[in-house]
Amino acid sequence: MLTLPEVVLADPAVLNRIKLHIYNTLLAVILPLAALQIPLHDTPGEKFMNGIPDGLIEAARVDGASLWATFPLHHTSLTRPISAAIAVTDPH
Protein backbone atom coordinates (compact mmCIF):
# COMPACT_ATOMS: atom_id res chain seq x y z
CA MET A 1 0.00 0.00 0.00
CA LEU A 2 2.91 2.37 0.60
CA THR A 3 4.41 2.01 -2.86
CA LEU A 4 1.26 2.87 -4.81
CA PRO A 5 -0.33 6.31 -5.00
CA GLU A 6 -3.85 6.65 -3.68
CA VAL A 7 -5.21 7.38 -7.18
CA VAL A 8 -4.21 3.92 -8.38
CA LEU A 9 -6.05 2.35 -5.45
CA ALA A 10 -9.27 4.30 -5.97
CA ASP A 11 -10.94 1.99 -8.49
CA PRO A 12 -10.33 -1.26 -6.56
CA ALA A 13 -11.38 0.49 -3.35
CA VAL A 14 -14.73 1.48 -4.84
CA LEU A 15 -15.29 -2.04 -6.17
CA ASN A 16 -14.49 -3.53 -2.76
CA ARG A 17 -16.90 -1.14 -1.05
CA ILE A 18 -19.66 -2.22 -3.39
CA LYS A 19 -18.88 -5.93 -2.86
CA LEU A 20 -18.83 -5.49 0.93
CA HIS A 21 -22.10 -3.49 0.84
CA ILE A 22 -20.54 -0.59 2.75
CA TYR A 23 -20.79 1.99 -0.03
CA ASN A 24 -22.09 5.35 1.30
CA THR A 25 -21.29 4.49 4.91
CA LEU A 26 -18.81 5.89 7.40
CA LEU A 27 -16.92 2.60 7.38
CA ALA A 28 -16.24 3.09 3.65
CA VAL A 29 -14.29 6.22 4.55
CA ILE A 30 -12.48 4.90 7.62
CA LEU A 31 -11.14 1.60 6.25
CA PRO A 32 -9.18 2.97 3.26
CA LEU A 33 -7.71 5.82 5.30
CA ALA A 34 -6.64 3.40 8.02
CA ALA A 35 -5.14 1.00 5.46
CA LEU A 36 -3.05 3.80 3.98
CA GLN A 37 -2.03 5.54 7.22
CA ILE A 38 -1.29 2.72 9.66
CA PRO A 39 1.85 1.49 7.85
CA LEU A 40 3.30 5.01 7.90
CA HIS A 41 2.99 5.25 11.67
CA ASP A 42 3.67 1.64 12.60
CA THR A 43 7.43 1.75 12.06
CA PRO A 44 8.20 4.78 14.27
CA GLY A 45 5.86 3.44 16.95
CA GLU A 46 7.53 0.04 16.89
CA LYS A 47 11.01 1.54 17.09
CA PHE A 48 9.95 3.69 20.02
CA MET A 49 8.39 0.76 21.89
CA ASN A 50 11.51 -1.35 21.34
CA GLY A 51 13.54 1.47 22.89
CA ILE A 52 11.72 1.22 26.23
CA PRO A 53 14.12 -0.55 28.59
CA ASP A 54 13.02 -3.95 29.88
CA GLY A 55 14.45 -2.93 33.25
CA LEU A 56 11.42 -0.68 33.85
CA ILE A 57 9.02 -3.59 33.53
CA GLU A 58 11.27 -5.83 35.61
CA ALA A 59 11.46 -3.16 38.33
CA ALA A 60 7.67 -2.93 38.40
CA ARG A 61 7.45 -6.72 38.67
CA VAL A 62 9.91 -6.69 41.58
CA ASP A 63 7.77 -4.05 43.28
CA GLY A 64 4.81 -6.43 43.06
CA ALA A 65 2.95 -5.18 39.99
CA SER A 66 1.38 -7.80 37.76
CA LEU A 67 2.05 -7.89 34.05
CA TRP A 68 -1.38 -6.36 33.39
CA ALA A 69 -0.73 -3.57 35.89
CA THR A 70 2.55 -2.58 34.22
CA PHE A 71 0.91 -1.88 30.85
CA PRO A 72 -1.34 1.03 31.79
CA LEU A 73 1.14 2.46 34.27
CA HIS A 74 4.29 2.31 32.19
CA HIS A 75 3.54 1.80 28.54
CA THR A 76 0.72 4.30 28.17
CA SER A 77 2.62 6.99 30.02
CA LEU A 78 5.87 6.29 28.17
CA THR A 79 4.27 6.28 24.73
CA ARG A 80 2.77 9.76 25.01
CA PRO A 81 5.63 11.39 23.04
CA ILE A 82 5.34 9.03 20.05
CA SER A 83 1.54 9.29 20.16
CA ALA A 84 1.80 13.06 20.01
CA ALA A 85 4.31 12.88 17.17
CA ILE A 86 2.04 10.56 15.18
CA ALA A 87 -0.98 12.80 15.81
CA VAL A 88 0.89 15.91 14.69
CA THR A 89 2.33 14.33 11.52
CA ASP A 90 -0.96 12.72 10.43
CA PRO A 91 -1.86 14.46 7.14
CA HIS A 92 -5.62 14.02 7.56
Kindly give the confidence (pLDDT) of every residue in the chain, 92 residues in length, as a single tens digit, with 9 standing for 90 and above.
556 676 777 778 788 888 988 888 888 888 877 777 777 777 788 888 888 888 888 888 898 888 888 877 777 888 888 888 877 776 65
Amino acid 80: pLDDT: 86
CA distance 4 to 76: 33
CA distances from 51 to 14, 16, 44, 55, 74 (A): 40, 38, 11, 11, 13
